[in-house]
Amino acid sequence: MSKRDFYEILGAEKNASEADLKKSFRRLAMKYHPDRNPDDAEAEGKFKEAREAYEVLSDANKRAAYDQFGHAGVEKSAGGGGGPGGQGFGDIFEDIFGDIFGGSGGGGRRGGGGGNRAYRGSDLQYNLELSLEDAVFGTEVDIRVPSMQSCEPCNGSGAKKGSQPETCQTCHGQGQVRIQQGFFSVQQTCPQCHGQGKVISDPCTECQGQGRIEEQKTLSVRIPMGVDTGDRIRLGNEGEAGLNGGPAGDLYVQVHVKAHDLFTRDGDNLYADVPLRFTTATLGGDIEVPTLEGKVTLKVPAETQSGKKFRLRNKGVKSVRSASVGDLICTVVVETPVNLTKRQRELLAELDESMDEGGKRHSPREHGWLDKAKGFFDDVKHAFTDTKE
């Protein structure tokens, strides 16, 4: 009886990659493994068939021979599981399932656990609120940060001063143990040392054997000119202490700029609304405008309308990333007078009457709006008349 094609057994194309072959075999092995199908001869046969196919196709030399000569090219080495130049089934199994059970593709054969490995400490974040002035001109602030720091009495070892952590006898310092369950070889964290590879028989009384303690530390942070909400300042090695002598993490200071009473910031530009008397808007004049560096004089031309914008060059924010400086954009808001006296009302009434004399248009936006409104109603009237006819 002729054997089935190995590619057909795995359900893979002849140009399938090594990753695709591994994926196909893993699927079949999980489905037909004898431990999952006790007393099922058919499942056991399919499992052995898939194993034989994968053992050949996962080996580059055997696969080349099989592709050229078929089963005849690999009959002497296929299925043996451990012949010269071949790969034993135990090795194949670890390569396929080691990542599922916590291994590293044959971890026991390639060096194992690494329970004594040094681990970098966690990064920390501190949210810092700044006034607009401090963000624009830069400042230096002191912050208090809670973090896990290396315990000084035991120098981070967790063992009482004068003693040392001992190698775990259960995992022999690997941090992991391997348990054989039928065909399955399961690698898991050592229950004795919890993956550390060492045990502490006489723990430090200060940190209770943890090697780290929580402390409040005060740091001085220099805030550069021009920072804005969303910017982060990195302080290297000011995060939490590492484990097993590993380096400390970093501290990131997250900037948030508080709202300002006068100015709104957008990038490097500042924006401000400037109230303006209607007489100044009409006749023109000079007004004082505040900036972050002091007051400046703004010349307002006659007949200025509400909403007019004035740009004050280089009165904004110096960019934190370049030498460019933004502008201050002032929007004038013409105010309507309030709390008028009887005489002031009379003067305004006289002014209003005089506006209609001489046929001149003194309110161009008003007259323009009225002309558009009249045209709109004329269009509606014509449309209604045409529909009625």
Q: Which helix (H) or strand (E) holds 128?
A: strand 124-130
**251 neighbors 239 (Cβ within 8 angstroms):** yes
Type of residue found at 72: A
Residue 169 neighbours by CB under 8 Å, 6+ apart: 192
Distance, CA of 168 to CA of 179 (rounded, Å): 17
Both tokens assigned to 282: 């009409």
| Per-residue tens of pLDDT for the chain, all 389 residues | 457 889 899 898 888 888 888 888 888 888 888 777 878 888 888 888 988 889 888 888 888 888 877 877 776 544 444 443 444 444 455 455 544 433 433 433 333 444 456 778 889 999 999 999 999 999 999 999 887 778 888 887 788 887 888 888 888 888 888 776 666 667 788 888 877 788 888 888 888 887 878 788 899 999 999 999 999 999 999 988 887 678 888 999 999 999 999 999 999 999 999 999 999 999 999 999 999 999 999 999 999 999 999 999 999 999 998 999 999 999 999 999 999 999 999 999 998 888 877 656 666 666 566 566 666 666 656 665 656 55
Torsion on CA atoms 97, 102, 108, 111, rounded to nearest 10: 130
Torsion on CA atoms 205, 208, 213, 214, rounded to nearest 10: -110
pTM, full prediction: 0.55
**For 382, what's the count of Cα atoms within 13 Å in the CB-facing half-sphere?**
6
User: Helix, strand, coil: what percent of the chain each, to 5?
Assistant: 30, 25, 45
Distance, CA of 76 to CA of 82 (rounded, Å): 12
Determine whether the annotation assigns residue 207 to a binding site.
yes
Pick from 326, 295, 299: which is nearest to 310 by CA? Answer: 299
In terms of Cβ atoms closer than 10 Å to its own Cβ (0-12, 13-18, 19+), residue 48 is middle
Distance, CA of 89 to CA of 96 (rounded, Å): 10
Residue 33 neighbours by CB under 8 Å, 6+ apart: 43, 47, 183
**292 neighbors 270 (Cβ within 8 angstroms):** yes
Distance, CA of 228 to CA of 234 (rounded, Å): 15
Determine whether the annotation assigns residue 330 to a binding site.
no
Determine whether the annotation assigns residue 204 to a binding site.
yes
Backbone CA torsion sign across 71, 76, 77, 79: positive
Distance, CA of 101 to CA of 234 (rounded, Å): 38
Q: Tokens 């992991």 — which residue?
A: 176
Distance, CA of 325 to CA of 337 (rounded, Å): 37
Distance, CA of 331 to CA of 198 (rounded, Å): 69
Distance, CA of 135 to CA of 270 (rounded, Å): 13
Distance, CA of 329 to CA of 269 (rounded, Å): 7
Q: Which helix (H) or strand (E) holds 181?
A: strand 176-181
Q: Tokens 């995992």 — which residue?
A: 171
